[in-house]
Amino acid sequence: MPSIVGTLKRMMASGGKSEPPPQLVMWYLQAAAPSIREVDRCEVRNFRSGDEDGWLELLQVNGALGDWDRARVQKVLFATHEQFFVECEGKIVACTGVNDKERDGKPCWEIGWVAVDPAFQGRGIGKLIVGTAVARALELGARPIYLLTDDFRVPALCSYLRLGFAPDDSHASYTRRWLDIFALLGADYQVYKPSFITVGDT
């Protein structure tokens, strides 16, 4: 929980304007890998040279992660520790990467740039690729695993909760925001409500 003094200092540093709230953070805190369901005629595999065009096409058709060109894909590839794709009948339809990052001064694995081709969404491919990336991160070494996401990305939030990611409560805005998110989710997601919002539950 940030201190009042810290919040005031940040407000003064920004000339009194309030900063935009940070992205949501979710942690994978379990020792065991998530259970992963295979998807018919699709396989998860690592990056191979020559994947760049299919990857760029996927990010462009996905359309929910900003503007992409070859240079941006190359930059992400350079920064990624291990890059995964789901390929279905010869087409790259999903991507994510395991990234070597630090949070609060500690080495972590970040699961980043998750996207599924809209024509293939809702079939379990998102959970398949993120679950595989988490399993790999667990194999890579004993580090906390996290991802960054946004309040409006409901299918992403659903997938991450199902896989076992837990909401982080380190920012003052998170309680209200997760309360609003859980209010939108169906009854079968309420079991994933973190204790920092079930207490009081307003």
Ligand X SMILES: CC(C)(COP(=O)(O)OP(=O)(O)OC[C@H]1O[C@@H](n2cnc3c(N)ncnc32)[C@H](O)[C@@H]1OP(=O)(O)O)[C@@H](O)C(=O)NCCC(=O)NCCS
Q: Which stretch binds ligand X (CB under 6 A): 4-12, 57-65, 71-79, 98-106?
A: 57-65
Per-residue mark of binding to ligand X, 87-126 (x: CB under 6 A) = ---------------------------xxx----xxxxxx
Q: Which is nearer to ligand X, 114 or 137 (CB)?
A: 114
Stretch of residues binding ligand X (CB under 6 A), selected from 2-10, 12-20, 68-76, 150-158 = 150-158
Handedness of CA 23, 155, 44, 68 (dihedral sign): negative
Cross-strand pairs, 88: 42, 91
Radius of gyration of the chain (CA): 18
CA atoms within 13 A on the CB side of 173: 12
User: Residue 147 CB, nearest distance to ligand X (Å)?
Assistant: 6
Report the largest interatomic distance among the alpha carbons of the chain, rounded to a whole angstrom.
56
Residue placing its CB nearer to ligand X in the complex, 10 or 72: 72
CA 5 to chain centre: 31
167 binds ligand X (CB under 6 A): no
183 half-sphere exposure, CB direction, 13 A CA radius: 10
Q: Cβ 32 to ligand X, closest distance in Å?
A: 19
Least distance to ligand X, CB of residue 175, Å: 20
